[in-house]
Amino acid sequence: MYQEERLLKILEYLKQHQSMSVQDICTQFEVSRDTARRDIVRLVQEGVVVRTHGGLALPELQKELLSYQDRLIDESESKQRIGKIAAGLIQDRETVILDVSTTVQFVAEQISAQDITVVTHSIDNVGILSHREDLLIYVLGGYLNVKNRLLYGSSIIDKLSEIRADKAFIGASAICADGLYYPYEEDARVKREMARRSDQVILVADHTKFNAKSFYRLDFDFVDILVTNRELPIEIREVLDQKNITVIECLDEVEEVRNQE
């Protein structure tokens, strides 16, 4: 049985039982433990399962992720406002890292700074900026994840470790009082490395991310600036104040009307 066929059967099993151990894979498909582990790694990298102690499972702590295109449309006006403000933080001749995020994509669309170098593993960011002759684009290479419009793999972390940037722009799937959250372990690791390799980290996130739920955590200590479109929940605001994180609120029309009442 080819790996692709086996992966589909594993997913069918998970839909019925929610979790599966390494031993279950070995027994059901008559493969070695090494082969079973490779299957698990592949499915985790594809972003359809989460690794557990001894096996894998379907994500339980997160809402089912929309496709990248659907997320791009969702709250697009708010994300555009956030992107415009955030893009204005980029200075001429800086090196900036752009995360894979629909909100970060709006940052890419509105960059006006000249002679910058952009580092990214987002194929959409590359497409948006490819017409600009006044900047350099460094693509972090890896395997292609078509659904989430990104390149992934250990080579992303390896390449980031060789880079020094002035600024990194990252997104988040969820923001709670104890930090940022992401649905996939590799996604959180990439964000962490981006933050480590940058002098300043700008988090861009619309109000729908606050107090949502996801799986893997990134500490607020990695963040310098948050750009968002609504007033923050008080418990999150208190934490950011304690950590001296600058908050830029580009309030949307709903919030402006609410403040005037």
Query: What does the pLDDT average to over 81-100?
Result: 97
| Cβ-contact 222, 195 below 8 angstroms | yes
- Domain membership of residue 18 (yes or no) is yes
Claim to verify: residue 114 and residue 84 sit in the same structural domain: yes
Task: Show the tokens assigned to 245.
Answer: 């994180």
CA 154, chain centre distance (Å): 16
Dump strand ranges (E) for the chain. Answer: 19-21, 50-52, 55-57, 95-98, 117-120, 136-139, 143-145, 150-152, 165-170, 174-176, 179-182, 198-204, 216-218, 225-228, 246-249
| Cβ-contact 169, 199 below 8 angstroms | no
Which of 113-122, 154-163, 185-194, 204-213 bottoms out in mean pLDDT, i.e. has the lowest?
Answer: 204-213
Name the more confident of 47 and 13: 13
Predicted local confidence at residue 183, as pLDDT? 80
Claim to verify: residue 245 and residue 171 sit in the same structural domain: yes
Query: What does the pLDDT average to over 21-48?
Result: 88
Claim to verify: residue 126 and residue 236 sit in the same structural domain: yes
Predicted local confidence at residue 59, as pLDDT? 66
Claim to verify: residue 251 and residue 163 sit in the same structural domain: yes
d(C-alpha 96, C-alpha 25), whole Å = 43
d(C-alpha 193, C-alpha 121), whole Å = 13
- Domain membership of residue 62 (yes or no) is no
Claim to verify: residue 77 and residue 174 sit in the same structural domain: yes
- Res. 260 pLDDT band, cuts 50 70 90: very low
Model confidence over 158-180: pLDDT tens digits? 999 999 999 999 999 899 999 99
CA 70, chain centre distance (Å): 15
Claim to verify: residue 7 and residue 90 sit in the same structural domain: no
CATH of the domain at 41: 1.10.10.10
CATH of the domain at 187: 3.40.50.1360
Task: Show the tokens assigned to 155.
Answer: 């080579």
Model confidence over 119-139: pLDDT tens digits? 999 999 999 999 999 999 999
- Asked whether residue 66 carries a pLDDT value surpassing 70, the answer given is no
- Give how many domains the chain has, as a whole number: 2
Question: What are the phi and psi torsion angles at 204 (to 5°)?
Answer: -115, 125
The count of other CB atoms within 10 Å of the CB of residue 250 is 17
Predicted local confidence at residue 252, as pLDDT? 64
Write down the residue that tokens 């997104």 correspond to.
171
Claim to verify: residue 79 and residue 50 sit in the same structural domain: no
Per the structure, the complete domain to which residue 11 belongs is given by: 3-57
Which of 51-65, 116-130, 170-184, 195-209 bottoms out in mean pLDDT, i.e. has the lowest?
Answer: 51-65
d(C-alpha 48, C-alpha 43), whole Å = 6
Query: What does the pLDDT average to over 105-122?
Result: 96
Q: Furthest-apart CA pair in the chain: how many Å?
A: 67
Claim to verify: residue 52 and residue 96 sit in the same structural domain: no
- Res. 115 pLDDT band, cuts 50 70 90: very high
Q: What percent of the chain has pLDDT over 90?
A: 56
Q: Is the dihedral of CA 115, 159, 220, 147 positive or negative?
A: positive
- Asked whether residue 185 carries a pLDDT value surpassing 70, the answer given is yes
pTM of the model: 0.71
- Res. 11 pLDDT band, cuts 50 70 90: confident
- Asked whether residue 253 carries a pLDDT value surpassing 90, the answer given is no
Which of 40-44, 146-150, 180-184, 203-207 bottoms out in mean pLDDT, i.e. has the lowest?
Answer: 146-150
Please provide the average confidence, as pLDDT, over all residues in the chain: 86
Question: What are the phi and psi torsion angles at 242 (to 5°)?
Answer: -65, -35
Name the more confident of 149 and 213: 149
- Asked whether residue 80 carries a pLDDT value surpassing 50, the answer given is yes
| Cβ-contact 212, 192 below 8 angstroms | no
Within 197-252, where are the H helices? 234-242
| Cβ-contact 29, 37 below 8 angstroms | no
- Domain membership of residue 102 (yes or no) is yes
